[in-house]
Amino acid sequence: MIGTGLIIASAFVAPNLLQLLKPKTRREKYKYKKTIEKMFDDKIIYLAGDEVKLSDDGLKLLAFSQVEEITTVNKDDEWDKTWRLVCYDVPEEQKSARDCFRHKLIELGFEQVQYSLWANPWECREEIAIISQNLGIAPYVAYLYTNHLPKQERLLEHFNLIERD
């Protein structure tokens, strides 16, 4: 449903897009119709005159889906011996965004150092900025650099960065 919803949302930006994706079979047409009906029922989209617009919930859903598109951190570069730390203190009212952020850190390969402190050896400032901005939690997220962490041997081993002489 989200995929179809994103296609429909994209059509607002590029109106001719739907012409390319026009349902070819009766089954596809039915599926599109049901998806649009569900989006109306779930208040993801609404009618504004003769336009269909994304509601606030729809905009949130779109932002969350854009977060899902970020899937990797560039690990091609040689490690510069600098740890990238992400820490956050997101209020309970934004629990779902906080949980999504934490799951995204795990998906990107971050390793937990302490409760809300995560480490990664590769540069990913832009990715973290985009994710936290889209989730609406940017004011609660800090991105830090350090060249040493207590008990970093575990992290060196986890990221396979132990130097061999």
164 pLDDT exceeds 50? no
pTM for the whole structure: 0.64
20 pLDDT exceeds 60? no
Distance from C-alpha of 107 to C-alpha of 24, rounded to nearest angstrom: 36
Question: For residue range 110-127, what is the model confidence (pLDDT) as tens digits?
Answer: 999 998 899 999 998 988
Question: For residue range 53-87, what is the model confidence (pLDDT) as tens digits?
Answer: 878 777 777 666 666 666 666 676 788 999 999 99
Give residue limits of the domains in the chain. Answer: 2-68, 72-158
Q: Are 88 and 98 in contact (CB under 8 A)?
A: yes
165 pLDDT exceeds 50? no
The set of residues, in sequence order, having a beta carbon less than 8 Å from that of 106 and lying 6+ positions away, is: none
- CATH 3.30.70.240 for the 72-158 domain, yes or no: yes
Distance from C-alpha of 151 to C-alpha of 47, rounded to nearest angstrom: 56
Q: Is 112 helix (H, G, I), strand (E, B) or coil?
A: strand
Distance from C-alpha of 109 to C-alpha of 139, rounded to nearest angstrom: 23
